[in-house]
Amino acid sequence: MNDTINNNSQFDLDIFQQSIKQGIPESLPDPYVYDNSVNHAPKRKKNSQ
């Protein structure tokens, strides 16, 4: 089983290394446009005192 994990890790590492070698693509996706009508802040935890 450890061999399987090591093989998968090596495979993932190879894919990662290939992606890094390709560099930044010529065209990037459009930036995400936030909806200003929605509150994007996380909810605050309430004190239980």
Is residue 40 within 8 A of residue 34, CB to CB? The reply is yes
Is residue 32 within 8 A of residue 38, CB to CB? The reply is no
Average pLDDT, integer, range 15-25? 87
- Of residues 49 and 13, the one with the higher pLDDT is 13
Average pLDDT, integer, range 2-20? 74
* pLDDT for res 8: 66
Q: Is 47 exposed, middle or buried (0-12, 13-18, 19+ CB in 10 A)?
A: exposed
**The tokens of 11 are what?**
């495979």
